[in-house]
Amino acid sequence: MATDCDVCGVRFDLVSGGVCTRCKKILCARHLHGSFFRRLLVDLGAPSVCVACRSGGARA
Ligand SMILES: [Zn+2]
Ligand SMILES: [Zn+2]
C-alpha cells in the first residue's frame, strides 16, 4: 500500500512513513521522522510527531 506525502508529494510505502499524531498529515519517512534515530524511537513505541510539529509547533 502506498500513498503521497502531504509535504513533498513523494510516493512512499506506509511502512516507511506514517501519520503525524499532532497535525494528522500523512508524511514520508523524511518529513515524519527526519532522522533514522527518530524513526527508531517511533518503532520502539514513541508517538509519531512530524519534524515540523516538533520544531515549530502549530505553525507547521
Ligand atoms: Zn515528504
Ligand atoms: Zn505534524
Summarised one tens digit per residue, pLDDT across range 6-50 is 999 999 998 889 999 999 999 999 999 999 999 999 999 999 999
Residue type, 32: L
Phi (first) and psi of residue 32, to 5 degrees: -85, -45
| DSSP element (H, E) containing 40 | helix 36-43
Task: State the first-to-last Cα distance of the chain, in angstroms, to the nearest integer.
Answer: 26
pLDDT of 60 reads 43
Q: Cα(28)–Cα(54) distance, rounded to whole angstroms?
A: 15
Task: Please state whether 25 falls in left (phi above 0), alpha (psi between -120 and 50) or beta.
Answer: beta
Q: How far is the CA of 10 from the centre of ligand 2 (A)?
A: 17
pLDDT of 37 reads 93
Q: How far is the CA of 60 from the centre of ligand 2 (A)?
A: 7
Ligand 2 is an ion; residues with CB less than 5 A from it: 20, 22-23, 50, 53
Task: Quote the pTM value.
Answer: 0.84
